[in-house]
Amino acid sequence: MALSTIFLTVFLLALLSLRTYQSEVLSETLPLTPESLNVSINSAHQRLHLQWTIHNLAYHQELKMVFQIQISRFKTSNVIWKESYSTTVKQNQGLHWSWESKLPLECATHFVRVRGKVDDARIPEPKFWSNWSRWEEADAQNSLGPDLLFLFPEDKLVEEGSDVTFCYVSRNHQHNISCYLEAAQIHIDQLDPRVSTFKLKNVSFIRRTGTNIFCEDPGVAMKGTVLFVSKILEEPKDFFCETQDFKNLNCAWDPGSDTTLPKQPSQSYTLFESFSGKKMLCEHRNFCNWQVAQDSQEMYNFTLVAENYLRKRRVSILFNVTHRVHPMSPYNLFFENISATNATVTWKVHAIGNYSTFLCQLELLGEGKVIQQQNVSVKVSGEYLLDDLEPDTRYTARVRCAYANHFWKWSEPISQKFSTSEAAPSEAPDVWRNVRLVSGRPTVTLFWKPLSKSQANGKILFYKVIVENPDKPSKFEGLSIPAPANSTELPLNGSSYQIHVTAHNSVGPSPASVITVSGDPGNREVEEERVNITEDGFSVSWKPQAGAPAGYVVEWCDRPQDLPCDPQWKNLGPNATSTVIDSGAFRPGVRYNFRIYGISTERMAHLLERKTGYIEELAPSDNPRVVTSHLTSHSFTLTWKDYSTESQPGFIQGYYLYLKSKVGEQCLPGFEKTGLTDDSVYCKHRIDNPEQKTFVMENLQPESVYEFLITPYTSAGEGPLGAFTKVTTSSEYSHALVLILLPMIFFILLFTIVCYLKSQWLKEKCYPDIPDPCKSSVLSLIKSKENPHLTIMNVNDCVPDAIEVINKPEGSKIQFVGASKSLTEAEFTKPTYLYLLPTVKNSPGPGPCICFENFTYNQAASGSGSCDPFPITPQVPPGQRGPLTSRGNLLKALEKNYMNSLGEIPSGEASLNYVSQLVSPMSGDKDNLPTNPPEPILCSEYKMQMALPLGLASPPPSENSRLSSTALLDQGEHYR
Q: Contact 407/377 with Cβ under 8 angstroms?
A: no
**Residue 971 reports pLDDT greater than 80:** no
Per DSSP, 827 falls in state: G
How far apart are alpha carbons 751 and 802 in whole angstroms?
50
How far apart are alpha carbons 906 and 825 in whole angstroms?
14
When pLDDT is cut at 50, 70 and 90, the band that residue 30 belongs to is: low
**Residue 919 reports pLDDT greater than 70:** no
At position 234, the amino acid (one-letter code) is E
Choice among 18-22, 246-250, 599-603 with the minimum mean pLDDT? 18-22
Q: Shortest CA distance to 622 belongs to which of 598, 600, 641, 648? A: 648
pLDDT value at residue 141? 82
When pLDDT is cut at 50, 70 and 90, the band that residue 743 belongs to is: confident
Beta strands in 558-604 (DSSP E): 567-572, 578-581, 591-599
How far apart are alpha carbons 120 and 122 in whole angstroms?
5
What average pLDDT does the segment 895-908 reach? 43
Which DSSP helix (H) or strand (E) runs through 557?
strand 551-557
At position 794, the amino acid (one-letter code) is N
Write b or e for each residue in 876-888: b if 16 or more Cβ atoms lie within 10 A of its Cβ, otherwise e.
Answer: beeebbeebeebe
Q: Contact 167/149 with Cβ under 8 angstroms?
A: no
How far apart are alpha carbons 149 and 718 in whole angstroms?
77
When pLDDT is cut at 50, 70 and 90, the band that residue 774 belongs to is: low
Strands 591-599 and 551-557, how do they pair? antiparallel
Helices (H), ranges, 472-625: none
pLDDT value at residue 99? 93
Strand partners, 635: none
How far apart are alpha carbons 848 and 601 in whole angstroms?
128
Residue 819 CB partners (closer than 8 Å, separation 6+): 880, 953, 954, 955
Question: Could you check whether the bond before residue 624 is cis, i.e. omega within 30 degrees of 0?
Answer: no
pLDDT value at residue 126? 74
pLDDT value at residue 198? 92
Q: Contact 782/855 with Cβ under 8 angstroms?
A: yes
Residue 691 CB partners (closer than 8 Å, separation 6+): none
Q: Shortest CA distance to 285 belongs to which of 268, 262, 265? A: 268
Which DSSP helix (H) or strand (E) runs through 224?
strand 221-230
How far apart are alpha carbons 434 and 529 in whole angstroms?
22
At position 59, the amino acid (one-letter code) is Y
pLDDT value at residue 894? 44
Q: Which of 308-322, 344-358, 924-938 has the highest mean pLDDT?
A: 308-322
**Where does residue 782 rank: exposed (0-12), middle (13-18), buried (19+ CB within 10 A)?**
middle
How far apart are alpha carbons 905 and 949 in whole angstroms?
12
pLDDT value at residue 795? 57
When pLDDT is cut at 50, 70 and 90, the band that residue 85 belongs to is: very high
Q: Contact 684/671 with Cβ under 8 angstroms?
A: yes
Work out the angle at residue 888's Cα, subtended by the Cα atoms of residues 886 and 893, and round it to the nearest 5 degrees: 95
pLDDT value at residue 261? 83
3-class secondary-structure state, position 800: coil
pLDDT value at residue 541? 93
Q: Contact 271/310 with Cβ under 8 angstroms?
A: no
Alpha carbon 352 to chain centroid, angstroms? 67
How far apart are alpha carbons 39 and 367 in whole angstroms?
77
**Residue 193 reports pLDDT greater than 60:** yes
Work out the angle at residue 289's Cα, subtended by the Cα atoms of residues 284 and 294, and round it to the nearest 5 degrees: 160
pLDDT value at residue 936? 43
pLDDT value at residue 253? 95
**Mean pLDDT, the chain, integer:** 78
Q: Contact 824/765 with Cβ under 8 angstroms?
A: no
Which DSSP helix (H) or strand (E) runs through 262?
none
Work out the angle at residue 363's Cα, subtended by the Cα atoms of residues 358 and 365, and round it to the nearest 5 degrees: 160
Strands 913-916 and 945-948, how do they pair? antiparallel
From residue 668, alpha-carbon distances to 659, 880, 961 in Å are 9, 99, 97
Which DSSP helix (H) or strand (E) runs through 287?
strand 287-291
Per DSSP, 829 falls in state: S
Residue 687: CB atoms within 10 A of its CB come to 19
pLDDT value at residue 564? 78
Give pLDDT tens digits for 838-869.
444 444 444 455 555 555 444 433 343 333 43
How far apart are alpha carbons 783 and 924 in whole angstroms?
24
Q: Is the dihedral of CA 648, 654, 655, 656 positive or negative?
A: negative
Give pLDDT tens digits for 53-79.
888 776 567 888 899 999 999 899 999
Specify the length of the chain in residues. 976
pLDDT: which is higher, 468 or 523: 468
Residue 432: CB atoms within 10 A of its CB come to 21
Give pLDDT tens digits for 98-111.
999 989 988 889 99
How far apart are alpha carbons 725 and 746 in whole angstroms?
33
pLDDT: which is higher, 767 or 908: 767
Give pLDDT tens digits for 453-498.
889 999 999 999 998 887 776 656 788 999 999 999 888 777 788 8
Q: Contact 942/820 with Cβ under 8 angstroms?
A: no
Give pLDDT tens digits for 420-435.
999 999 999 999 998 8
How far apart are alpha carbons 463 and 504 in whole angstroms?
6
What average pLDDT does the segment 731-748 reach? 80
Q: Shortest CA distance to 610 belongs to which of 669, 674, 523? A: 523
**Residue 443 reports pLDDT greater than 60:** yes
pLDDT: which is higher, 957 or 67: 67
How far apart are alpha carbons 204 and 232 in whole angstroms?
11
Which DSSP helix (H) or strand (E) runs through 727?
strand 725-728
**Residue 565 reports pLDDT greater than 90:** no
**Residue 540 reports pLDDT greater than 90:** yes
What average pLDDT does the segment 6-13 reach? 58
Q: Shortest CA distance to 217 belongs to which of 151, 152, 153? A: 151
pTM of the model: 0.49
List of domains in the chain: 26-141 (2.60.40.10), 148-230 (2.60.40.10), 237-323 (2.60.40.10), 331-419 (2.60.40.10), 430-517 (2.60.40.10), 528-614 (2.60.40.10), 627-732 (2.60.40.10), 790-967 (no CATH)
Beta strands in 823-871 (DSSP E): 832-834, 849-854, 867-869
Give pLDDT tens digits for 622-671.
999 999 998 888 899 999 988 888 889 999 999 999 988 666 678 888 88
pLDDT: which is higher, 353 or 381: 381
When pLDDT is cut at 50, 70 and 90, the band that residue 258 belongs to is: confident
What average pLDDT does the segment 879-883 reach? 41
pLDDT value at residue 548? 82
What average pLDDT does the segment 769-789 reach? 56
Give pLDDT tens digits for 943-952.
445 555 544 4
